Structure 1
Amino acid sequence: MPHRGTSSLSKFDLTGKAALVTGGARGIGLQIALTLQEAGAEIILTDADGVSLADVADRFPVKPQVYQLDVTASQAIRDLAGKIGSCPDILVNNAGVSRAAPTSQTTDEDWRFVLSVNLDGVFYCSRTFGSLMAERGSGSIVNISSMCSEIVTRQEPSVVTAYNASKAGVNMVTKTLACEWARSGVRVNAVAPGFVASDMTHKLPQEQIKSWSEQTPMGRFAQPHEIASAVHFLASDASSYMTGAVLSVDGGFTCW
C-alpha cells in the first residue's frame, strides 16, 4: 500500500500531460510554464511577441514547443490547434494587457484592445481547445483573472476601467464554461492575483509600489512563482473536485 503522503503528492504530478500557456514570453506566464514543466508537463508556449518567445525557450530544461500567437485572432487559434495535432491536457489563458488612463481619456481603440486580448482571447482559446477537451472527455483550463475583477483599487494617478471590466468578464466566462463542460470531464477555474512583482511593476514609481504594498495585508507584492503554484494546483488532479472557482492569490487585499 503506497505511503499516504506520496499518494497525495502524486496528484500534483503532470508527467505525460501537455500544457499550453498563452502570453508565456515573460512575467507570470513564463513562470507558470516553467513551474508546469518542473511538475512534468510538456510545454506549448505561445506569445504575440515572437522574438521574446524565441529568446526565452532556452531557459527551459526541456525546450518547449513555441508558437507566435495573437489570441485576438480566432482563426489563428484554430490554425494552432491543427499545428499541434493533439489537444493539450491543460490550457492556461494567461495573455493579458492593460492601458491605464482616466475614462475620459480612454479611446475606443484602447477599450477594444484591452477587452479583445483579455476577454475575447480567453473565450477564443477556450472555445477551440476546451471543445476538443470536452470531446475527449478530460482537461483542465486555468484562466488568469485579477483581484480587479471584484474590486476597484486606488489607482495612482490613473484608473483602468477596461482592464477591470475585462477581468470581471473572465470570471463569468470561467463559471459559465465550468457549468457547461463539468459532465464532459473538463474543469475550468481561474486565479485572481493581486499586485505581482514583474517587469511591468518594477517600472512603477517607488512611492506607488510602497503605497500599494502598504494597502496589502501581507505588506508586499506577490512573486510570479507564487501565482504559478496556484495555477499548478488548479491544473493538476489535486484540485479534481474544483470547477468554476476563482482562487484569490492577493496577499489578503480583497479581505479589507
Structure 2
Amino acid sequence: MSTAMSSRFLSRALPRHVPRPALPAAASHRCLVGLQIRFNSSSSAPSTSSEPQTTVNAIPTPVAPTPLPQKAPRNLQAFSMANKVCLVTGAARGLGNEFCKAFVESGCTDLAIVDLKEEEAQAAAEELVKQSCLDSNMDPSDYRIIGIGCDVSSEISVQQAFRRAMDTYGRIDSVVASAGIVENYSAFDYPFDRIKRLYDINVHGAFFTAREAARHMIPMGGGSVVLVASMSANIVNIPQPQTPYNAAKAAVKHMAASLAVEWAKKGVRVNCLSPGYMLTKLTRTILAHDTELKKTWESLTPMGRMGEPEDLDGAIVFLASDASRFMTGSEIRVDGGYCII
C-alpha cells in the first residue's frame, strides 16, 4: 500500500474531531452550581425553584483546634503543707513570721500565729492573709489564720494558747517553737534577772510549747515539733559575748533529741533547726550602726555572706512536713558553713 493511499484510508476510517460550541455564561454558571451541589456531601438536594441559585461554598469553615490541657510537672507531695494545721510561736515578726509565710506558700491554710502581744499577732495574721491572696485565685475566706497572744515563759499561757488553737481547728499537726531573745553582756556584767528572763523564754518556753504540742498530737496519731535553736548551740560566737544565749540554745538542741526519744513510739517527731547569722529586719537595723561587726560575721562564714530569712524556708517545711517522716532527734544547721571551720 502506498503512503498516499494509507493516508487517505486512515483519514476516512477515523472520525474527524469537531469542537463543541462554548456554552453561554448563564448555562456555564448553572453547570458549575450543579457540580458543587452534587459533590458537596453536606448540601441538600438542589432546589427546583426557578429562582437564581446561589453558589454553595464547598470549602468547610475552619474550626479552632481544641486547646490541649496545660502540662503540670509532678511535685513531691510529701513536702506539701496542705490540710495541715500549724502553730508557730514568736511569729509576729522575724524568723517565726518567715516560717509562717513558708507554710502558707506550701499550701497551709490553717495557721495560728502566736506572739506575746495578741494585737501584733492578729495584725500579722491579717497581713499574711492579704499577701497570700495577691496574684492568686484564693480569697480571704479560704484561710483560717488567727493571732493568739501568749507569754511562752508561762506554762499556763502556753496551755491557753493551745486550747484556743484546738477550739478553732480541732487538731494540730505541726508546731514550731520559734520564740526567743538574745542579749550581749560579758559574763561578769550579765544581770541575773536578764539571765533568768532569757532562760524562761528560750529554754522553758521551748519546753512548754513542745510538751503542749505532744499532748494534743498523741491522741490524734502524732505530728511534728520543731525547736528553733542556733548554730550557737555548736560553736562559740565571736566577737560578741553571749554565754547564757549559747548555753540556752545548746539546751534546746539537746532537749529536741531527748524529747524525740521519749515520744518516738507515740508518733511525735521532734527535730531542731539551727540558723546561722540571718539578716532579719531587727538584725539589719543593728548592723546598720555597726558595719564592722557585719564584715566580721561575713568573713567568718565560708559562704562570705549572712543568710536571708528565706534561706530557711526549705528546711522548716522539710522538718514540719511528711517529707521528714522518718527523721527525729536531728538537727539541721543553715549557717553558710560557719560551724564546719
Shift of 1:103: 0.7
Which residue, 122, 128, 153 being the options, matches 2:206?
122
Aligned to 2:85: 18
Letter in 1 for 2:271: N
Shift of 1:217: 0.4
Alignment of structure 1 residues 8-157 onto 2, 5 Å? 9-41=76-108, 42-60=110-128, 61=132, 62=143, 64-84=145-165, 85=167, 86-155=170-239
The 2-side partners of 1:63 and 1:179 are apart by 33
Letter in 2 for 1:221: M
Deviation string 1:124-145 (CA, Å, 9 cap, x unpaired) is 0111111221232210001111
TM-score, length-normalised on structure 2? Answer: 0.71
Shift of 1:153: 1.4
**Higher gyration radius (CA):** 2
The 2-side partners of 1:127 and 1:70 are apart by 15
Larger RCO of the pair (alpha carbons < 8 Å, separation 6+): 1
Alignment of structure 1 residues 197-236 onto 2, 5 Å? 197-202=279-284, 203-204=286-287, 205-236=290-321
The 1-side partners of 2:213 and 2:331 are apart by 20
Deviation string 1:101-135 (CA, Å, 9 cap, x unpaired) is 10111111111111110010010011111122123
Q: Which moves more between the two structures, 84-93 or 242-251?
A: 84-93
Does the CA contact (< 8 Å) of 2:149 and 2:161 recur in 1? no
Percent of residue pairs identical? 32
Letter in 1 for 2:107: G
Letter in 2 for 1:44: A
Does the CA contact (< 8 Å) of 1:19 and 1:91 recur in 2? yes
Which residue, 319, 325, 329 being the options, matches 1:240?
325
Deviation string 1:61-87 (CA, Å, 9 cap, x unpaired) is 246111011100101111122222233
Aligned to 2:260: 178
Letter in 1 for 2:253: N
Equivalent position SS for 1:234: helix
Does the CA contact (< 8 Å) of 1:149 and 1:167 recur in 2? yes
Does the CA contact (< 8 Å) of 2:121 and 2:149 recur in 1? yes
**1:254 and 2:324 matched:** no
The 2-side partners of 1:123 and 1:249 are apart by 22
Shift of 1:26: 0.8
The 1-side partners of 2:250 and 2:87 are apart by 23
CA RMSD, Structure 1 to Structure 2 (Å): 1.4
Letter in 2 for 1:237: D
TM-score, length-normalised on structure 1? Answer: 0.93
Does the CA contact (< 8 Å) of 2:113 and 2:122 recur in 1? no
The 1-side partners of 2:161 and 2:92 are apart by 17
Which of structure 1's runs of 4+ aligned residues deviate more than 3 A?
none
Shift of 1:53: 2.2
The 2-side partners of 1:99 and 1:114 are apart by 8
The 1-side partners of 2:182 and 2:117 are apart by 16
How many residues were matched structurally? 249
Shift of 1:51: 3.7
Shift of 1:50: 3.0
Does the CA contact (< 8 Å) of 2:87 and 2:174 recur in 1? yes
Deviation string 1:2-32 (CA, Å, 9 cap, x unpaired) is xxx836x111111111100000011111110
The 1-side partners of 2:314 and 2:111 are apart by 16
